[in-house]
Structure 1
């Protein structure tokens, strides 16, 4: 299984230093959470891994291959998929169509084949549909396959984003605040889904502000503050770390 590794990764935008020599690894089958105050650099790391941002220093490797500098669709093809803080579904398409779109990185049919509807293209289209239906079933959305995405309740739209990411057959899944806006029941369902994803052998990198979700599903945590990694460890180790407590609560000497 693939192993994701960030080594001394730095990112700056003009005079703003967003990340400073951040290093951590994501191991096969692991659920690793990135936590930290707002503006700590968590989503910046997601954008670095998925090729949205270029790094200013350091290196990102995946399965032993340097992926720093690759374009997002090439990184997706390596087996890294993601969701977003703000839902980014194709709102006028059905749930099934949204997930089928994710299969584009795995298809081989040419434009000519699609126009001529060759036997090979038809076989591939059936396979895409079957895989998309399987991803919807995994996310508990089988009965929503033909519903237009904008008509789904918010919680199901969140689930659909995860199903779409799974539709690309990732080995590593990046979840950016998947519990945002969910009620307690939906959050519990989300935790069960994340655990089932990891049980299939997919690595999960999670950014989440809901600490009940983070502490219940994570094997390890990486804590960021102002773009710097201040702590790594198990939930129990991180919870009691003085630097983490200060970053979240402030020190007694703070004005």
Structure 2
């Protein structure tokens, strides 16, 4: 069974048709790239999957269960996490505190337990801290646990966002332009990191403009143009597709 399946998704904002009959799957163990020119509808797809936008038509399913109409925090609890194109960290909190926030969808002690500082609440707090530190270590950020996010370099903040997504214990991660603003060395390290995340059994759907990253790491690619899917396939197929070259890749890929 496909972990994540979009079937004939359409999204309309007033008179603007943002997506039209978009259908694709992110299968178990997949690294899927979602590419296309600016305004193609890529972030709209992410917002539909994560419950930020409602569909005008079509259905999103995750492990066979419908996601359409669910609240974002419920979708996160089901195992679908995301990062954002524009970094959304709590700048006045430490790296560890930023990551610990992601564990709220896994907490059980409740407000009363937090107020009374019950034994169960203390155990849960220790577990959250341990999971969050492990996520930081995985992203090679262990040494920055107590650093304010605002004091961290841009590339480190990008990695911190991914660490926070990992701390929610996802089965699928949506990465929104993770290589944006990174230098070539950081982009290569990002590719290595994405491969390591995939090796944990986590599925990845990635919006990215850096074609070296997309072609180097993705196993399957979906191409949007003006809210319509114009192609999907393996990287080598996408690079040769004349519709994709005309709409997006340009002459350098001829």
* TM-score normalised by length of structure 2: 0.97
Deviations 1:42-78 (A, max 9, x none): 0000000000000000000000000101010011011
Residues 48-197 of structure 1: pairs in structure 2 closer than 5 A: 48-197=48-197
Matches within 5 A, 1:226-237: 226-237=226-237
Give me the whole-angstrom Cα distance separating, in 2, the residues matched to 1:226 and 1:79.
29
CA contact (8 A) 1:2 1:171 kept: no
Q: Gapped runs of 5+ residues in structure 1?
A: none
**Unaligned residue ranges in structure 2 (runs of 5+):** none
Counterpart contact for 1:5–1:24, Cα < 8 Å: yes
> Contact 2:2–2:25 at 8 Å: present in 1 too?
no
What is the deviation of 1:2? 6.5
- SS of match in other structure, 2:86: coil
CA distance in 2, matches of 1:186, 1:250: 25
Q: Helix, strand or coil for the counterpart of 2:76?
A: helix
Output the CA distance in 2 between the equivalents of 1:203 and 1:189: 19
Alpha-carbon separation, structure 1, partners of 2:101 and 2:42 = 27
User: Residues 180 and 112 (structure 1 numbering): CA distance in 2 closer, same or farther, change over 3 Å?
Assistant: same
Where 2:61 maps in the other structure, the secondary structure is strand
The alpha-carbon deviation at position 29 of structure 1 amounts to 1.1
CA distance in 2, matches of 1:113, 1:231: 51
- Deviation, 1:249, is 6.0
Change (3 A) 1:212 1:249: closer
1:149: how far off? 0.5
- The alignment partner of 2:204 has SS state of strand
Residues 130-183 of structure 1, C-alpha deviation per residue, up to 9 Å, x if partnerless?
000000011110000000001000000000000000000000000000000000
RMSD: 1.2
